[in-house]
C-alpha cells in the first residue's frame, strides 16, 4: 500500500467531485443568466462578465445569508438575496451603450433566472424520479 487509507482516498474523490459540481453550477448559472438577460434586455452579455456576476452574486448572497441568519426557508433572507442579486446584475451587466440597465430590469432578469432554475429543477425531479420508479418496477 502507498500509505493512503481508503477513507482518505474517498474523501479526496468526494472533494474533487464537490469542486467539479461547483464549477459546473457556476457555468450553468452563467448560461442561464445570459439567457435571461438576452430575453429581458435584448442582447447577450459577455460570458466572462456573466461568470463574474454569478461568482460575485453567490458571494454577496452568502454574506447576506450569514448576516440575516436565514436558512433556506426564511422569506426575509430570500428577498434580501434576490434584491442583492438584482443590484449586482444592475451594477456589472451593462447595456450595449455602457449604461446600467436599471434596477427594474435587473429585478426582472433575476426573477426570470429564478423561474428558469425552478423549471430545470422540476424537469430533473421528474426525470430522475421516473428513473427511480422504473428501477423499483423491475
Taking a C-beta distance cutoff of 8 angstroms, is the pair 30, 54 a contact?
yes
104 within a domain of the structure (yes/no): yes
Query: Which are the contacts of 69, defined by CB distance < 8 A and separation ≥ 6?
Result: 77
Q: Which domain holds residue 26?
A: 13-137
- Exposed, middle or buried: residue 110 (CB in 10 Å: 0-12, 13-18, 19+)? buried
Residue 108 confidence (pLDDT) = 97
pLDDT at 20 over 60: yes
26 within a domain of the structure (yes/no): yes
Confidence at 48, pLDDT banded by 50, 70, 90: very high
Alpha carbons 91 and 94: distance in angstroms, whole number? 7
pLDDT at 69 over 60: yes
How many residues in total does the chain contain? 138
Residue 127 confidence (pLDDT) = 94
Confidence at 8, pLDDT banded by 50, 70, 90: confident
Q: Record the cell numbers describing residue 51, joined without a space.
A: 461568470
Question: Residue range 41-64: average pLDDT?
Answer: 92
Taking a C-beta distance cutoff of 8 angstroms, is the pair 60, 85 a contact?
yes
Distance in Å from the first CA to the final CA of the chain: 41
45 within a domain of the structure (yes/no): yes
Say which range, 16-30, 54-68, 111-125, has the weakest mean pLDDT: 54-68
Question: Residue range 11-20: average pLDDT?
Answer: 92
Angle in degrees, CA 96, 102, 105, rounded to 5: 90
1 within a domain of the structure (yes/no): no
6 within a domain of the structure (yes/no): no
Q: For 72-81, how does the pLDDT look when each residue is reduced to its tens digit (9 = 90+)?
A: 557 888 888 8
What is the number of structural domains in the chain?
1
Give the chain's mean pLDDT: 90
Amino acid at each position: 500500500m502507498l500509505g493512503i487509507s481508503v477513507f482518505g482516498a474517498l474523501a479526496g474523490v468526494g472533494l474533487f467531485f464537490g469542486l467539479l459540481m461547483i464549477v459546473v453550477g457556476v457555468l450553468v448559472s452563467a448560461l442561464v443568466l445570459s439567457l435571461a438577460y438576452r430575453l429581458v434586455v435584448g442582447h447577450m452579455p459577455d460570458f466572462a462578465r456573466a461568470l463574474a456576476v454569478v461568482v460575485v452574486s453567490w458571494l454577496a448572497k452568502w454574506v447576506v445569508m450569514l448576516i440575516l441568519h436565514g436558512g433556506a426557508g426564511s422569506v426575509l433572507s430570500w428577498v434580501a438575496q434576490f434584491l442583492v442579486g438584482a443590484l449586482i446584475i444592475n451594477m456589472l451587466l451593462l447595456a450595449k451603450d455602457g449604461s446600467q440597465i436599471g434596477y427594474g430590469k435587473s429585478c426582472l432578469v433575476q426573477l426570470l433566472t429564478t423561474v428558469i432554475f425552478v423549471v430545470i429543477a422540476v424537469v430533473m425531479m421528474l426525470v430522475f424520479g421516473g428513473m427511480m420508479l422504473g428501477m423499483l418496477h423491475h
